[in-house]
Amino acid sequence: MGIFSSIDLEFWRGIFSSPWAIFINSLDIIIVTYLIYRLIKVLQGTKIMTLIQGVIFFILIKIIADIIGLTTIAFLMNQVITYGVIAAVIIFAPEIRSALETFGRTPRSFLKTKTVSSEEALIEACVKSVKYMSPRKIGALVSIERTQTLVEYISTGIPLDANVTGELLINIFIPNTPLHDGAVIVKGNKIATACSYLPLSESSKISKEFGTRHRAAIGLSEQTDALTFVVSEETGAISIAYKGDFNHDLSIEDFEKELRSILIQEEAAKPAWYKRLIGGGKNA
């Protein structure tokens, strides 16, 4: 304990040794804090952010275990953190590569307050396709993978691995084309498959007016956290199924609002961070 106490003492003496040292160390802390803040903003709502939250959780458990003296738990958490980071780099290699490529192409985007995210582009594509298909009563069934994998259902479809665009979604569901039956599954920023089979809901509470597409959307929402939307080929009505909830006959505006509320974790109309610090966040 004496060694650690002397190290701690020397550390704090170094920080407060002179006014210049205080200034430099304070500036260092502010810069690091701001960079961490910007990184969190960039990763907010992505799968990598979920990973980071899990790592922080394990680190907190390890710290608590060290304080209390739970040696075995502390050892296990240390192993999980050590090997978990290596496993995470392998699992999330595509997302990490995509983020690094984005930063490499546009270095300034890291410091920008507002950027067009992949979720925003996905929402725009979905809204554009539904605007076209709904008035023309073109039936559609699209599932968007969230945190739970849809690999079981992806394996039943025809692989596409294509960028998500409104035009492509429209073309897939044009009647009497090879890909129009079944579901489109979106994984990450790509259309993974078309013609995929989804599990049908067994619920007796579903109205008889809803067909196979609606039952498939509800069935998938009961088993996973995927977001699924349907365009009825009989009425053109727009529906969304998510975590067991089913919203039917939505307007285009309501459809877009639902997508945003689920796919994007927005800080609605929040003022800039420096305004909040000085108490200027509230409008008069």
CA 163 – CA 8 distance, rounded (Å) = 53
CA 241 – CA 218 distance, rounded (Å) = 6
Within a 10 A sphere around the Cβ of 185, how many other Cβ atoms? 28
**C-beta of residue 138 within 8 angstroms of C-beta of residue 178:** no
CA 143 – CA 131 distance, rounded (Å) = 17
pTM for this prediction: 0.56
**C-beta of residue 110 within 8 angstroms of C-beta of residue 103:** yes
Structure tokens at 22: 């205080």
Per-residue pLDDT at 110 exceeds 70 = no
Q: Tell me the pLDDT tens digit for each residue of 22-36.
A: 788 788 888 988 887
**Whole-number pLDDT of residue 218:** 94
**C-beta of residue 80 within 8 angstroms of C-beta of residue 51:** no
CA 267 – CA 119 distance, rounded (Å) = 15
Q: Tell me the pLDDT tens digit for each residue of 130-161.
A: 999 999 999 999 999 998 889 999 999 999 99
Percent above pLDDT 70 for the chain = 74
Residue of higher predicted confidence among 241 and 280: 241
Q: Collect contacts of 195-199 with beta carbons under 8 A, ≥24 apart.
A: 195/157, 195/158, 196/143, 196/153, 196/154, 196/156, 196/157, 197/153, 197/156, 197/157, 198/141, 198/143, 198/153, 198/228, 199/153, 199/223
DSSP conformational letter for 32: H
Per-residue pLDDT at 47 exceeds 50 = yes
